[in-house]
Chains A and B, each alone.
Chain A
């Protein structure tokens, strides 16, 4: 089956990178795995209409929106009428990036997405704008605010870890 063969090749070559990008977004390997997997499922469904030369960009767009949608749901619509869920992370956070990962999680989701797209994935402003579904001006402003927020959070995290 040609569709499956082509897609399998794409999956094999891209899944690991997608998972790392998702990790940079959410700071949790389990969730990163889910985000990346869900993104590939969505890409598979559209595969006949995905141009091969833009498949990477499409995957990045899908993944960014899955992440942002999930954060929107949690922030705005979850109705918790008792105690909040226990969040226990069993993630083996890479020690050399521990502070950065923690600090990044304190940056608001859209700003965080802009930072990950621009710096972790090294996308242009235009490419990041397509992935986020916004204007280039918004990407620039979100990136600038995100860097400020990350520096402040990183400083706090770094100080707390040294104390």
Chain B
């Protein structure tokens, strides 16, 4: 039996693979964290002063800060109001013509939003969900590195919001084909929402796939997009309401040039609003969730950028 204490001391000199961390990356994340902490301190004061009226105030006041390109066809902005102040960080809008709305969002009579919750006048358009583009989404569990980066990105950009503990969830009504997600609840004065991440594959080049999925969610306005030097394309569309209640969803996809795709979704409800049936992964919605999404566009895109920086 070797001297175990000496063996441990020698671990300081163990052979290491080359580091993949650049100083610039750490500085960038560090500055973002400083920014979020400062914004959190300011927003915290606002939340305490505003008290119970915070949510109502949020919905009325935010549309003025919406990017003009989305205004006419996307309805009111319903992302979080805990956004740090500063220059807009939205990615450019893709140069595609908007879809023509076929109507305006109306909740189901069987499960309408609760009392006092304003029904959002969001234009409705056809969803162009081509199942040939992205395949195997959620077939495998989220890779540990992506999960770790996802959790930390949320933690860093949350500001006054409090991220819950990350959970892995396997959802779906077909036990033979469950979909794996990593799920993080995010709570602030407005209530609890959530973000999820899942991974899959896609066909074509990143730009081709992004173009084909430009109107994936039934969004009327063209999506926002960032194209990176390594060919990775990040794309997210506007907030989509759906049943039951007034469920809000915003979807982002990150198309990497190696055929790997990551989907990040933020929702206005969290795990407390769900009851998962462990037998088949299906879930029931019990609560209507919060009035807005938990993150602003700025925060949402920051999470996407952080996840996109993981080297697969």
Instruction: Report which A residues bind B (CB closer than 8 A).
Output: 4, 7-8, 11-12, 15-17, 19-21, 23-24, 29-31, 33-34, 36-38, 40-42, 44-45, 47, 70, 73, 77-87, 91-92, 94, 96-97, 100-101, 115-116, 119-122, 147, 150-151, 154-155
B1-27: CB near A (< 8 Å → 1, else 0) gives 110110111111011110111010111
Give, as a whole number of angstroms, the nearest-CB distance from B37 to chain A.
6
- CA A70 – CA B31 in complex, angstroms? 23
Using Cβ atoms and an 8 Å threshold, which residues of chain B touch A30?
144-145
Chain A residue contacts of B170, Cβ below 8 A:
80-83
A12 to B24, CA, bound (A): 11
Give complex CA distance A7, B180 in Å.
39
CA gap between A44 and B11 in the complex, in Å? 27
Q: Is A100 in contact with B27, judged by CB distance below 8 angstroms?
A: no
Pairwise interchain contact A15-B167, C-beta atoms closer than 8 A: no
Chain B residues bordering chain A, tally (CB within 8 A): 47
Asked if residues B21 and A121 are in contact (CB atoms below 8 Å), the reply is no
Task: Report yes or no: B12 in contact with A20, Cβ–Cβ below 8 A.
Answer: yes
CB distance from B237 to the nearest CB of A (A): 29
4 closest A-B pairs by beta carbon, nearest first, are A44-B30, A82-B170, A119-B8, A85-B141
The reply to whether B14 and A81 form a contact with Cβ atoms under 8 Å apart is no
Q: Which residue of B lies closest to A48 (CB)?
A: B34
Task: Tell me the bound Cα distance from A79 to B275 in angstroms.
Answer: 13
- Please tell me if the beta carbons of B140 and A20 are within 8 angstroms of each other in the complex: no
**A97 CA to B144 CA in the complex, in Å?**
24
Q: Is the CB of A94 within 8 A of B14?
A: yes
Offer 17 A-B interface pairs, CB within 8 angstroms, sorted by A: A7-B27, A12-B23, A24-B12, A41-B26, A41-B29, A44-B29, A44-B33, A77-B165, A77-B167, A86-B140, A87-B144, A94-B14, A94-B15, A96-B14, A116-B11, A119-B8, A120-B11
Using Cβ atoms and an 8 Å threshold, which residues of chain A touch B30?
A: 7, 40-41, 44-45, 47
Query: How far apart sit A41 and B281, CA to CA, in the bound complex (Å)?
Result: 37
Residue of chain B at shortest CB distance from A1: B27
Which listed residue (A47, A86, A97, A150) contacts B10, Cβ 8 A?
A97
Asked if B14 and A23 sit within 8 Å, CB to CB, the answer is yes
Indicate which residue in A33, A41, A86, A119 contacts B5 across the interface (CB closer than 8 Å).
A119
Distance of B15 from chain A, by nearest CB (Å)? 4
List of B residues within 8 angstroms of A47 by Cβ: 30
Residues of A within 8 A of B156 (CB): 41
In the docked arrangement, what's the CA distance between A78 and B14, Å? 32
Separation of A58 and B26 alpha carbons in the complex (Å): 17
- A81 contacts which of B16, B27, B34, B281 (Cβ < 8 Å)? B281
B178-212 interface (Cβ within 8 A of A):
178, 180
Asked if B285 is at the interface (CB within 8 A of a chain A CB), the reply is no
Contact A45 B34 (CB under 8 A): yes
A34: chain B residues within 8 A (beta carbon): 145, 148-149, 152
B residues in contact with A17, CB < 8 Å:
12
